[in-house]
Amino acid sequence: MTKKAVAPANPDPERQPNSQSVVTTPSQHPTPRPIATTQTGERQFTSIIDRSLGLKVSGSSSEDFAMVLIRETMEAIRTVSGEADIDRVSGTLNAAMAALAAFKPADEIEGMIAAQAVALHHGAMECLRRAMLGDQHADTASKLRRDGANLARGMTDMLEALDRKRGKGPQVVRVERVVVHEGGQAIVGNVQPAAGGRG
């Protein structure tokens, strides 16, 4: 019986027989493009994504930019360790793609912000997961919780940066200097005319 081997993105003759292909999204392109290879123990998983979806979730019209951005995001996310289950790897990568798509990036800058936010979220959750493992020193668990909290704050920073870029950030009025002469009064804030007045 002949088995059909699926070549990984970077073929390795020693690992090729154990390689498998994860179709991250249903491909409607005749030649879907590999974007990432996940090494888990002795097995390799090659993630393949449709070109049109890659362009959509990256906010770019450049296929090279889209593929690099998605590959970097996938490589920044822990999938599994040991002898991985292909469904679990595929589910993790599909979830990351759904998260990227939810940002609806309008250009490359927004695509990069989205990718960083997704990677930070997964990093935070991984730190918090590890903090709950048993049989570890209390100091280690405490550090993991702090690291998780810092990564989570970094993720919200990315969201605020995206809002500012899209003009949704809070309007800030900075008062550099206020001079009040003798007998005068100064008011800093929102001043509304009295009802019925002439201003």
Between 58 and 180, the higher pLDDT residue: 58
| Residue 106 within a domain | yes
Asked if residues 18 and 37 have their Cβ atoms less than 8 Å apart, the reply is no
| Residue 33 within a domain | yes
| Residue 136 within a domain | yes
Position 120: which residue type? L
Q: How many Cα atoms within 13 Å fall on the side-chain side of residue 197?
A: 5
Query: Does the predicted model carry a pTM greater than 0.85?
Result: no
| Residue 177 within a domain | no
Tens digit of each residue's pLDDT (9 = 90 or more) over 69-117: 988 888 888 765 544 567 777 788 788 889 999 999 999 999 999 999 9
Q: How many folded domains does the chain comprise? A: 1
Pairing of β 33-40 and β 43-49? antiparallel
- Overall average pLDDT of the 169-188 stretch: 68
Mean of per-residue pLDDT scores for the chain: 75
Nearest to 175 by CA among 162, 161, 190, 163: 190
Contacts of 44 (CB under 8 A, 6+ apart): 8, 12, 15, 16, 18, 19, 20, 37, 38
Question: What is the structure's pLDDT at 71?
Answer: 85
- DSSP, collapsed to helix, strand or coil, labels residue 120 as helix
| Residue 190 within a domain | no
Ramachandran angles phi, psi of 23, nearest 5°: -85, 100
Nearest to 119 by CA among 155, 79, 167, 81: 155
Could you tell me which residues are beta bridge partners of residue 46? 21, 37
Q: At residue 67, does pLDDT exceed 80? A: yes
| Residue 5 within a domain | no
| Residue 61 within a domain | yes
Containing structural domain, residue 116:
16-165
| Residue 90 within a domain | yes
